[in-house]
Each structure stands twice: as C-alpha cells, then as structure tokens.
Structure 1
Amino acid sequence: MTGLPFLSQAQQMSCCQTPGATASFAMLASDKQFKSSHEEPLPFHYKSVAGTDITYPTADGKTAHAFVIKSQKPTDNYVFVIHEWWGLNDYIKQESEKIYNDLGNVNVIALDLYDNQIATTREDAAKYMGAVNTERAKAIIEGAFKYVGPKAKIGTIGWCFGGGWSLQTSLLAGKQAAACVMYYGMPEKDIARLMLLNTDVLCIYGSQDQWITPKVIADFQADMKSAGKKIIVKEYNADHAFANPSNPKFDKTATEDAYKHVMEFFKSRLK
C-alpha cells in the first residue's frame, strides 16, 4: 500500500487500480512491469485489539464485508480506508488501527472491494484488481454509508487502487464527505463530476512514478481548479509506492513526512 511505516520491512505490501471514470488504469492488471514492481507480502497475521470484522447489506441484494474499529466515545467522525491490490488483509487492518490510534476519537471502517478475496501472489492480485466491477464496488461503498448513518462526517484514504477509490468514495459521499487522501491514485477526469465533490483533496505521489506521473497530477490539479475545488499536492522525489517498505525504492523519509501531512489534514477536518 503506501506507508505502514510502523511495520517491519519484511511485513509490507503494495498497491493499485481504479474505478469507472478512470477504468483505463485497470489495464495495468496485465502490465508485467507493473506487476513485477510489487513485492509479494510475506505471511503475516495481525490480531486487532479493538477492531472487528462485520457484514452489512448492499442494495444489490448481497452483503459486504468490512473491518470496523469504533470510537471509545460516541462520534460521527469516520475514516473509510480503501485497500490496495492485495485486498483487505491483515496489513490493511493494522494500518487502519494505526490511523485510528493516531487520530484519536474517530471511527474507522476498512472496506472490502474484493468481496473476501485476498491475494498472496501478484497473479491473484492482478486478477482480483482487474475483475472489480464498478457497480458492485459502488454498492459496497453506498452500503457502508447506510451502515454509518446520514450524520456521519466521512474522511477517506487509500493507496493506488485504493487511492482512486478514495476519491470516488468521497464523490459518492456527497455532503457527508469531509476529507479525501489519495496516495498515488488515479484521479477522476470528469470535471462535471469533480464539481460535485464536497471536500478538499490531499494528493500524495512520487515524481518518478511511471503510472501516476507528474503530468497526470498536473492535469488533475487543472481539473480541480476548473471545478472550483481545492487540492493539496505533496510531491516527493520518489517512485511509485514509495511509502511501501517492501518496495525496493521505498523512501522512509518521504513516507514519514507524507504521513504527518495526512494526520494534519484529517485532524483539521474531522474535529
């Protein structure tokens, strides 16, 4: 995914893909260079102190799976965590709990856009990522909105695949959207859709990224300006998935700096 700076290097993971408006990014699932750039995660088991796995109904007549950590004191603040291309595994659950602990009084819900499928190989990750159905993903997200309720103030965060879906989740959240963090995720390119966005966006990426390139980000900035929306860009002299310690091009300094900005961004908007 991105960061996970609190895990040992041997325990890390990686990222990527996106939704309908940016469906061209799904083609990366068959890109050999893209797949080989993601180190396969070593076996890792994490037992959460506070989190639980839940299911909830979706409008398509099915159920969805998520990992939830509820605040110790009642609050309408929620952070939706969107996994990267491995799926909602124990790494994502640990990252979710770190965000929960570092933000303080907040609820965290990590969505499962793979419907209980977890990849342990690049081949499976590419297959699951490429098979994500936009309408099903939207049903999972909208079901989560009903689960948290109409008073919830929602922040979103994701990495690559999850970065693109973080933005889409904030778009779907409408007036409930309060903060959106995208780590090297594919942007929405439809200005008319961006005009519906109800929150600022923190966009984090590496200038050496061959997929989420400086031009992709520059175009996104221009589109956000045209839509009358605020975007904060944090660029690092780093490669794709630079915040993933299992990546040979992991950048510890950039990862730690980016995470500080994420915390500041969330804390100022989820008060």
Structure 2
Amino acid sequence: MKKLWTLCAALLSAVTVASAQTTMSCCAKPAGPNATEAFAMLATNEDFSGGHDAPLPFTYAGEGQTIEFKTTDGKTGKGFEIKSATKSNKYLFVIHEWWGLNDYIKQEAAQFAKDLPGVNVIALDLYDGQVATTPDEAGKYMQAVKTDRAQAIVKGAVQYAGPQAQVASIGWCFGGGWSLQTALLAGKQAVGCVMYYGMPEKDVTKLKTLNTDVLGIFATQDKWINPEVVAQFQKDMAAAKKKVTIKSYDADHAFANPSNPKYNKAFGDDAHALSVAYLKKNFKLKS
C-alpha cells in the first residue's frame, strides 16, 4: 500500500472533468472515451507520476508459490497463492496497488494467511506479470489496465478456486476499488469484502447484486475519497438494501501504509485487526 494520495487526486480530477461515469476504483482506468483520454493525459502529468516514492528493495522469502490459471477471455492469469495447511474451500483474494504484485504484496498475503488459518490466500495480478519499480513505470502499467481484462482475471481466479469456493477480497486504493468489483464479479460465491480508501461503485443496480456485506475503511482527512464520497456510498448501499460498515479514522489517505510519511501505526494496526475480525466472522472461522 504505497503512497497513492497524489495518484487518486489526479484521477478524481480527471473523472470530474471527463464525465460522471462510474469508475472501477480510485486508481483504475475509467470507462468511456472522454475519461480514457483524460486518464492518458494524466499519465504524462508530473504531479501524477512524480509524487510517489519508489519502493525500497525488498525480497519476500516466505511460503507461497506463483500460480497460473485460465481467464474467461481465453488467456492466462497469474497470482501468488498461499494454501491453507488443511483442505479448504475458503479463499481470500488480495488486490495489489499501483506498483503491481510485488514482494510487499506477497508479504501482505502471507500475513493474512497467518491471521486466517484455514483460508487459502491468493494475491491477484492485474498487471499480467509487470511490476513497477519507478513511478513512471507504475503510471504506464496502471494506465494500460483494461477493465475487461481485469474482470477476466478476477473471474478466472474465481473459477480456479472452484464452484464451491467461498470468496472474500481485500485491497487498498486501486485494490480497494477492485476489491468491491471482485465481490460483485464473484456473485453468489462472495462472502466478504474489505476496501481500504478505494472508490466505491456508484451504480446502485450493480450494488443490488452484491451477495455480501462490505467493510469500508476510510480516512476523514482524505481529500479525494473524502467523507462526502463515503456518505454517498452509504446512501447507495442503503438504496441497494445492502449492508456496509464504515470505519473512518482521523487520518489521511494511505494511513495504513507503513512506508507512507502519513502512516499512523495505531490506526493501521486497528484497521488490520478490524479487517481480520470481519473476515473471520464472514468465513465463519473459529476464534
């Protein structure tokens, strides 16, 4: 969960200028030609790509393995899986942020595997194997994400888990919005969704198809996924007759990211504990 506040600010500005169309997430490529053109312009904007510190070198050396699976568009998708020590049909999908599926995300997946015994954890790769090490690379990779392809990857992962799998998802900013989209795409197999400061789905008709409640974690000082956006999400979920639990911290965007200067350890630890408790409840795990 690298420093993404500049990224989200830029994208929300683009969406406001371009159209009122629904976006997939705060950092995902919005649909529609006008929004796409605006997004493409942002990829060359210095504020957009230059305000992010490159991740420090880090190598994950724990358990888990890279997997490949068929996607619904006839191609192949990638992920990083940590299997449960015991056979299980419970799966947690972890959605990366704008750097891609790097070793930091693998470490996050490993932590959730440790916190949730009996759950298979898969960190999905929405960048098809590309991992950014510089802001310029991250901007190009994120810009290249096509909604149809990302949806095919998510659907392929659900098929990989199997028709009897119970699927929950979690992600931050880019991944936060895609966590909610994953819950929508998983259909009746969805049993949980945690989204950290990601752009909510705004189509009430789509929200009506959710098969799970949602835990939304936000920051009151966030200038882009702000309290107004969160309040509208609550209204939309109410209109869809779906349950959403909102936890807002008196912090800034990306407060749960240890590498972010705005990191708040107390709030980050609390949000993580809240997420684990929520997932344990929804997976019906023993405490």
TM-score higher than 0.5:
yes
The Cα of 1:21 is off from its aligned counterpart by 3.5
Secondary structure in structure 2 of the residue aligned to 1:78: strand
Q: How does 1:155-194 map to 2 (within 5 A)?
A: 155-194=168-207
Cα 1:246/1:30, change in 2 over 3 Å: farther
Q: After TM superposition, which residue ranges in structure 1, 4 or more long, deviate above 6 angstroms? A: none
**Pair 1:87 & 2:100 matched:** yes
CA distance in structure 2 between the aligned counterparts of 1:33 and 1:197, rounded to whole angstroms: 36
Q: Is the 8 A contact 1:87 1:114 kept in 2?
A: yes
Supply the RMSD in Å over aligned alpha carbons: 1.8
Structure 2 unaligned regions, length at least 5: 12-20, 30-38
TM-score by length of 1: 0.90
- Relative contact order higher in (CA < 8 Å, ≥ 6 apart): 1
Matching residue's letter, 1:22: T
Equivalence map 1:1-271=2 (5 Å): 1=1, 13-15=2-4, 21-22=22-23, 25=26, 26=29, 27=39, 32-33=46-47, 35-49=49-63, 51-271=64-284
Deviations along 1:45-79, whole A, 9 cap, x unmatched? 11122x10011111222111110111111111110
2: CA distance between counterparts of 1:29 and 1:167?
A: 24
Aligned residues: 258
Task: Compute the displacement of 1:33 (Å).
Answer: 4.1
CA distance in 2, matches of 1:253, 1:38: 23
Bigger Cα displacement from structure 2, 85-94 vs 32-41: 32-41
Q: Which residue of 2 aligns with 1:10?
A: none
TM-score scaled to structure 2, two decimals? 0.85
Cα shift at 1:130? 1.6
Secondary structure of the corresponding residue to residue 182 of structure 1: strand
Where 2:80 maps in the other structure, the secondary structure is: strand
Q: Which amino acid aligns with 2:23?
A: T
Query: Quick check: 1:163–1:183 contact (8 Å CA) kept in 2?
Result: yes
Taking the aligned partners of 1:142 and 1:21, their CA distance within structure 2 comes to 20
Name the SS for the 2:216 alignment partner. Answer: strand
Structure 1: gaps spanning 5 or more residues: 2-12
The answer to whether the Cα contact below 8 Å between 2:100 and 2:125 also exists between their aligned partners in 1 is yes
Query: Offset of 1:246 from its aligned partner?
Result: 1.6
Give identity over the alignment, percent.
56
